[in-house]
Amino acid sequence: MANKNLCEECGIRQAEIYQSHSNRKLCRECFIEDISKRVINEIKKWNMIGSNDTILMALSGGKDGYVLLDVLSRNYKSNKLVGLNIIEGIHGYNKEEDAKYLANTAKEMGIDIIITSVKDYIGYSMDEIVKKSFDAKTRLTPCTYCGLIRRRIMNYFAREIGATKLATAHNLDDESQTAVVNLLKGDISSLLKQHPNTKIVEDDMLVHRIKPLRKIYEWETATYSFLKGFHLQETECPYINMAPTLRAKVRKELYNYEKENPGVLLKFMDTLDEILEMFNTKNTLTKLSRCIKCGEPTAIGRKYCKLCELLSNIGIDNPKYALLKLPKKNVVI
């Protein structure tokens, strides 16, 4: 009599994980291998990483970042990989001890980690920026500032170390939510930017971003990290539920829809890729203006970049990045 609890991939080991979108029961070894293969296949499909590329990996210390670190370190030369961890300066969140554990884990894989902070770059921590925003009654969410600042810091360090690609750990859930939000807002430009080969904006100061985990579910990165025994940052950002956002509502609805229709998010993103592929070579914007305060890229016709503008609105007129030439690496462990 056949053992119904055997892995449906290898047929040897006991199955431990049910992969709903493929309707398969897998052992831990085959599950980990499946995730790794899908990430590498996505990289190869869109030619995300070439033989001469140097990759800066944005690593928060969460489940997605550890999967990105683990898969890339096992498939690409370690001297072509560098990690970046940004400490936001939010009380009780993304603590320095978590960053040190991440750095030690990366070191075991032969990879250096740059550890920096929002305060190092701006001159203020995220907690301080959020307080200034509340005092100024801007009605902007903390995520608005944090996301913009993190993207700026990532691009800055990618440039400074001479990286040719900037890898972020956005998963399938992240990308699906972003796509639906862009559609609901009618933001076609941002939607087009989600395609792996987008050419909507090209500028010498902007390092090309890649998202190797874009077809991996969030529950899969969580399971992968658990099976690997990674020390994850467990604290949720205290600002995440401060104000209900369109994205939060979309996240809830997509989660329920995926639960009722396993695999639907994968089909959605595959279809979106096909549609966006038809537009990815059109309307390329190759020249951007420069912010007169900090010199970073900004939209044509604008005097200031979005970050300088938002910070100025809350009384931060002279952010550190606009005044000082920061060192290439703050801390490398």
The CATH number of residue 56's host domain is 3.40.50.620
State residue 239's pLDDT score. Answer: 87
Model pLDDT, residue 132: 98
User: Residue 134: inside a domain, yes or no?
Assistant: yes
Per-residue pLDDT of the chain (333 residues; tens, 9 = 90+): 457 799 999 999 999 999 999 999 999 999 999 999 999 999 999 999 999 999 999 999 999 999 999 999 999 999 999 999 999 999 988 777 889 999 999 999 999 999 999 999 999 999 999 999 999 999 899 999 999 999 999 999 999 999 999 999 999 999 999 999 999 999 988 999 999 988 777 788 999 999 999 999 999 999 999 999 998 877 888 888 776 678 889 999 999 999 999 999 999 999 999 999 887 655 566 678 999 999 999 988 999 999 999 999 999 999 999 986 444 444 443
pTM exceeds 0.85 for this model: yes
Tell me the β-bridge partners of 237.
none
Q: Are 80 and 55 in contact (CB under 8 A)?
A: yes
How many CB atoms within 10 Å of residue 25? 19
CA 97, CA 248: separation in Å to the nearest integer?
29
Question: Given strand 165-167, what is the order of strands in its sheet?
Answer: 112-117, 81-87, 55-58, 165-167, 208-210
Taking the C-alpha atoms of residue 307 and residue 310, their distance in angstroms, rounded to an integer, is 5
How many distinct structural domains can be found in the chain? 1
Place of tokens 């203020």: 124
For the record, the structure tokens of 320 come out as 């550190």
Nearest partner of 112 among 64, 146, 163, judged by Cα: 163
The predicted structure's pLDDT at residue 324:
65
**Calpha distance 22→267 (Å, rounded):** 12
Q: Is residue 145 part of a domain?
A: yes
The burial of 3, by beta-carbon neighbours within 10 Å (0-12 exposed, 13-18 middle, 19 or more buried), is given as: exposed
Helix, strand, coil percent content, the chain, rounded in steps of 5: 45, 10, 40
pLDDT of residue 330: 43
Q: Is residue 176 part of a domain?
A: yes
18 in any annotated domain: no
Structure tokens, 283: 């309307």
Range of the domain at 212: 46-278+312-323
> Which pLDDT value is given to residue 243?
66
User: Is there a contact between 182 and 190 (Cβ–Cβ < 8 Å)?
Assistant: yes
Is 290 part of any domain?
A: no
> What one-character-per-residue DSSP string does 127-138 give?
HHHHHHHHHTT-
Q: How many CA atoms lie within 13 A of 322 on its CB side?
A: 20
Question: Is 198 contained in some domain?
Answer: yes
Rounded CA-CA distance 329/323 in Å is 17
